[in-house]
Amino acid sequence: MRPIPIAALLLALALLPPTTGLQIAATAASTLFEAVPFILAARLVAAILPRASHWLPFLGCGCSGGPSARSVPATIATALAFGPLVALARFLAAYAMGIATRGVMGDTSPHRDNALGTLSSLLPFAIVAGVVSHVLPMLYSFSHANAIVAWIGGALLGLALSPCGLGVVGIAGALRGVSPAACVGFLCVTGVVDVRSLFPHRDAHVGHDACAYLLAALACALVAWHGGAMLVHPHFTLPLLACGAALAVLAYKHRRERDVRAMLAPALAFAVAVAGAPPPDYRATPTTLADAFPGERLSFTGVVARTGKDTSLVRYAITCCRADAAPIAVPLAASPPSRTGTWLDADGTLVPVNGSLRLRVDRAKAVAPPSDPFLYR
């Protein structure tokens, strides 16, 4: 996507109410931060093995022509977020599609020869992931639509967006927290048989920029210093520290080069790293408690959230980054007197109510919001 549409997306974020804009920006930035280690690792391999440049469909983020799911960095990110079987299945399907359409290598794009170009191409899809995670939960009917309808909706979304390989992971993670069926449809189609896999994809060249590299380095260092900063899983701390050092070296190496178009993605990441990520908006969503059984004792700390007559304690869990945060909701057998938005530490017993398990609270105590509201898995 060209810089003008990207700038328009950033302007739209700035015009939203401050809280909404910051929520979406934080989710978008989290997708960028998750992608940075994979992007730089691919660049390192290409630098060590110069003859590997024609393997960009595999080493890059999947932004070159052909199926984007062939991207090895995207496959690794998919494995972390959705498991190795899903990642392997997508890679093999995309590999076969690449052979069937334009051969294994596909078309390479010259602007992918630096990390800033890759980040620039990822930015619009990172923003889409932020919008999906924030807006779709408000559409309750979509979230709980018929599974087949939701699957088709997810597949059509993938066909229309045709994101790069790393962009797929962020958007799919956001969809999983809203509609698992839509997430499955999205993953089955996007990067394998979407528009990008059938036609060459070329964007404007994005060059090196010393200030952009420096902003990206500072942003990575800040997030790593704060243990993920509610943007990425804490296990990204050391990789982000290494990325910050590598980006600082690139800033020095290209200290005389300027390309204002390369500033957009690092500027968003740095702004979010400085401003901080706000806690998510908690919404009650049904849960099956599939591994639980009647009579089981349960202790859970979460936010009181109400949907109609149903009350739940809700907390979000992160697999890789904020974009894939999914709600863990424990429905309550009886509504507590606490107001919506109150954090409760509750102990009780799971009991069957109308065919589903709910927590019968024996003891509940209002607690202060934790410094990090997320759980990590």
Last residue of a domain, one of 216, 250, 267: 267
Q: What is the pLDDT of residue 9?
A: 62
My answer on whether 110 and 8 are in the same domain is yes
Q: What is the pLDDT of residue 320?
A: 85
Last residue of a domain, one of 267, 288, 313: 267
* Cα–Cα distance measured from residue 181 to residue 146, given in angstroms and rounded to the nearest whole number: 9
Average pLDDT score, the chain: 81
What CATH number has the domain bearing residue 366?
2.40.50
272 belongs to a structural domain: no
332 belongs to a structural domain: yes
My answer on whether 55 and 164 are in the same domain is yes
230 belongs to a structural domain: no
Last residue of a domain, one of 251, 267, 283: 267
Residue 227 has pLDDT above 70, yes or no: yes
pLDDT digits (tens, 9 = 90+) for 26-37: 999 998 998 899
Which of 119-128, 289-298, 315-324 is predicted least confidently?
289-298
CB 122 within 8 A of CB 167: yes
CA end-to-end span of the chain, whole Å? 33
Residue 72 has pLDDT above 90, yes or no: no
pLDDT band at 109 (very low <50, low <70, confident <90, very high): very low
pLDDT digits (tens, 9 = 90+) for 123-150: 888 888 888 777 766 655 555 567 788 8
Residue 111 has pLDDT above 50, yes or no: no
Count of domains for the chain: 2
Q: With pLDDT > 70 as the criterion, what percentage of the chain qualifies?
A: 80
- What would the mean pLDDT of 202-225 be, rounded to a whole number? 89
231 belongs to a structural domain: no
226 belongs to a structural domain: no
281 belongs to a structural domain: no
Which of 246-260, 267-281, 316-330 is predicted least confidently?
316-330
Residue 108 has pLDDT above 60, yes or no: no
My answer on whether 13 and 147 are in the same domain is yes
255 belongs to a structural domain: no
Domain of residue 356: give its range: 297-376
pTM of the shown model: 0.81
Residue 107 has pLDDT above 50, yes or no: no
Q: Which residue has the higher pLDDT, 105 or 243?
A: 243
323 belongs to a structural domain: yes
pLDDT digits (tens, 9 = 90+) for 332-360: 988 888 888 899 999 999 998 887 888 99
pLDDT digits (tens, 9 = 90+) for 141-178: 555 567 788 888 888 888 777 677 777 887 888 787 66
pLDDT band at 38 (very low <50, low <70, confident <90, very high): confident
